[in-house]
Structures are given as C-alpha cells and as structure tokens.
C-alpha cells in the first residue's frame, strides 16, 4: 500500500483500497468477531444478547446499514445467542443488508422500538418485542433466562422482566470482545488508516491563509467518501486561539497565516474501522515561533514517552502513573485520556491521567491490563491554561509481545522539530 505522505488521486486511492480490501477474508473477519463475543457471553452464563447500538450490531452480526440514523432513531436490532448464528431485525425489507452475512441465520421484521415510530403504543410494541426475545432465548438456551442488552428504555426493560427474563448489561462482554483484534481486523484497520492519511496529505497540501476550518475539514470527508468510507465521529478542527483549550468543533473561522491548526480524524473508513489520528500543522510558509516549537516538542516528548510504556501486562493504573508528567502550566488543560482503545470506534479501555483516576470513579473499579493485540490511541495535548495556542497529537498503535508498533504513519512536522 502506498504511504500517504503526498496527495494521491481519487483513482489511485480507490484502486489501492479495493485491492487491499479484496485480500481480506471478510467471512473470517465476521465469524471471528462473533466467536469472540459468544465466548464472553458463555463465560457469564448468558443465553444471548440483544444489541441496538449500531457499532455493536456490526461487530457481532456484520450488519451495517443505517448506522448514523440508528444512533438516534433505533429501529433495527440483533439477537445474538451464546451459540449459533444471530437473528437480525429490520423495519422493512428495504433496510436489510442483502444478502445478509454468514453470521446471520435470518432477518425478521422488527417490533417498533421507539416513540418516533410507535407513539402512544410503545408499551404494546415493547411487550411483543420482549416475547420475541424470550422465544429466541428459549430456542437457543432452554432454561437459561439471562439476557444481556446494550440499549433499551424503561418500557422494554420492564417488558423483558414481565416475560421472565433477567436483563443484564451487554456493553461489558462486547467491549471486552472488541478489545482484542483479529488479524483480519488489523488488515482492515490498515486500509482505513491509509484513507485517513491520504485525507491528511490533501488537507496539508490545501492549507493556506483564508481557508475556513469547515472547508479544511471537508477535505477529509470528501476523501473518505470517494474511497467508500462511512462517517466521521466528531468535528474536531481548530486554528489559532481556538486550539486552546482543545475540543472546539470546526467553524467558519478563516485560518490565518502563522496559526497552528489542529485536528482529530475520528474517521470510520471503507472497511468500517476507525482511524483516530491527530496532527497539528502550521498555516502558511512562515517559520513557527519559539513558543509554537516548544509546545510541539513537548507534545512529541509526551507521545514518545507514553508509547514507550505500552506493553502487555502493564496495568491501566500503572500505565497512568508512569506517563509523562505534564508541567504545572499545562495540567489544567490536560487531555481526558492518556490512551484509549480503538476499533470500529473509540472503545475499551479508556485510561485517564493519574490526576483524574479517583475523581472519575476509577477507584478500585477500573482494573485491567494492556494486552497483546489491543489497538490503542496514545494521546497528547499541550496547551497552557489561558495560553494563546495548543498542540494536539495522537498516534494509533498495535500492542505487540514486546511493546507497541505504530499503525499511523503520517509523519510529524519537521518544521517544529528540526
């Protein structure tokens, strides 16, 4: 695959993406993900799970339609038994992935699961929905009445109880399943990172004074869409003073010469995996100021220090305690995670700075270790409280047997370092 340092044409981009996706065994990918989830279900003595979250549905069953709409108008769901194939539920035939993947036994009509479609008959539809789930649980697991659910409202929760089922949390088993990546997942993620970095190359090439943040950001969207990509989770682009503190969404502001421009891709590409990469650029042909160089160099030092700590077996807390110590002027604006999992989207684990460990409720409740074949994003943000600008960087890595390997390859900016 071409390393996306310089802009490539859409024809080249599409050709590279199609060639590399064709080499990936999609059936093995879907079967492997389903098997990982089902192992977690069996370990918890669950008859199965009901999934409404579109990312969870995609992971477990390979069904991908209407992902963004499903986030706010849930009308499709899947029942995943602890053994056997999933059953998908769709509002109508037009909503079904056709042909549906080998991980799905059948597609059935869905019960109306939200007020938008059900109105005052929501409780009635919930009872019918729960009866469907109870029947599936009985068919697949007999007397086991323990069902995990990721997102339901009170009407559906009560209906499950009335149907004799015990409803438990589904996010834990599915997040733990998703945390360890299959080889096919890593190959797919590499394609999506390639598309994101092709977009970054185009963004860098187009950056000039007078370009608005919105127009700058649209370049990544266009690149992803042309390559067959799906969606972008956030709108994190900021320039100049808007880079401090971090988190402002992109705007109609015109980018000025000499300003820092930071962005975070959060891009779900053509293979369905998230490329989560942050870079900070300098607008124009000038030389960065001494302050800008200092911010950038500290961000790189933080990244390199924290990536060097990544290895299998280190606990989340131990990792947080050993992370690069932020100088006092930058503590107030610290990024909320020093590292987090990445897959179909941001996922488990989310490791906070040690300063936030207790306040955010992690005391004794967020135990765990970094494991081989996890994919993580290591974060850095350097911006003094009240300062004029800040630098955001982020690298995507694979945890190996001895440390970590970079998955994001777009180079850092020599203009700040050389």
Residue 135 to residue 129: CA distance in whole angstroms:
10
In the block, tokens 């399943």 appear at 177
pLDDT greater than 60 at residue 230: yes
Q: Give the pLDDT confidence of 273-327 residue by residue, as tens digits.
A: 999 999 999 999 999 999 999 999 999 999 999 999 999 999 999 999 999 999 9
- E strands of 255-355, at which residues? 260-264, 267-268, 274-275, 278-282, 339-342, 346-351
Q: Cα-Cα-Cα-Cα dihedral of 326, 328, 330, 335, to 10°? A: 50
- In this predicted structure, what is the pLDDT of residue 2? 58
Nearest to 17 by CA among 242, 254, 272: 272
- In this predicted structure, what is the pLDDT of residue 313? 98
Nearest to 52 by CA among 30, 77, 26, 35: 77
Residue 240 has which token pair? 């100049």
pTM higher than the cut 0.75: yes
Please answer whether residues 268 and 233 qualify as being in contact, where contact means their C-beta atoms are separated by less than 8 angstroms. yes
| Cα 356 to Cα 66, 338, 351, 361, 394, distances in angstroms | 36, 11, 10, 9, 20
H/E stretch holding 399 reads strand 391-399
Structural domains in the chain, sorted by start? 26-178 (3.40.350.10), 180-417 (3.90.230.10)
Nearest to 5 by CA among 204, 265, 253: 204
């Amino acid at each position: 695959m071409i390393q996306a340092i310089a802009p490539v044409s859409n024809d080249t981009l599409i050709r590279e993406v199609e060639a590399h996706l064709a080499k990936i065994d999609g059936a093995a990918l879907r079967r492997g993900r389903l098997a990982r989830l089902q192992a977690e279900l069996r370990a918890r003595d669950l008859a199965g799970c009901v999934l409404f979250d579109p990312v969870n549905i995609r992971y477990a069953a390979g069904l991908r339609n209407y992902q963004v709409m499903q986030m706010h108008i849930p009308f499709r769901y899947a029942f995943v038994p602890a053994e056997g194939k999933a059953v998908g539920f769709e509002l109508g035939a037009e909503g079904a992935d056709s042909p549906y993947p080998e991980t799905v036994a059948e597609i059935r009509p869905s019960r109306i699961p939200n007020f938008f479609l059900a109105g005052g008959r929501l409780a009635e539809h919930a009872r019918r929905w729960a009866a469907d789930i109870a029947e599936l649980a009985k068919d697949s697991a007999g007397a086991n009445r323990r069902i995990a659910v990721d997102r339901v409202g009170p009407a559906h929760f009560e209906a499950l109880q009335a149907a004799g089922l015990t409803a438990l949390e589904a996010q834990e088993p599915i997040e733990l399943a998703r945390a360890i990546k299959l080889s096919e997942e890593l190959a797919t993620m590499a394609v999506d990172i390639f598309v994101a970095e092709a977009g970054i190359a185009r963004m860098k090439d187009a950056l000039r004074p007078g370009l608005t943040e919105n127009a700058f950001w649209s370049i990544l969207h266009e690149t992803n869409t042309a390559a067959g990509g799906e969606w972008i989770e956030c709108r994190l682009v900021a320039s100049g003073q808007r880079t401090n503190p971090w988190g402002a969404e992109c705007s109609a502001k015109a980018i000025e010469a000499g300003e820092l421009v930071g962005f975070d891709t959060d891009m779900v590409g053509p293979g369905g995996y998230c490329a989560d990469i942050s870079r900070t650029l300098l607008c124009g042909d000038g030389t960065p100021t001494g302050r800008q160089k200092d911010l950038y160099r500290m961000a790189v030092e933080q990244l390199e220090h924290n990536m060097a700590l990544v290895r299998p077996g280190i606990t989340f807390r131990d990792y947080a305690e050993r992370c690069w110590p932020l100088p006092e002027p930058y503590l107030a604006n610290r990024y909320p995670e020093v590292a987090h999992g990445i897959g179909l989207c941001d996922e488990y684990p989310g490791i906070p700075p040690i300063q936030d460990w207790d306040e955010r409720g992690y005391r004794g409740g967020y135990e765990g270790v970094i494991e081989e074949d996890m994919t993580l994003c290591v974060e850095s943000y350097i911006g003094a409280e009240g300062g004029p600008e800040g630098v955001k960087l982020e690298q995507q890595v694979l945890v190996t047997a001895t440390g970590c390997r970079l998955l994001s390859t777009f180079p850092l900016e020599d203009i700040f370092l050389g």
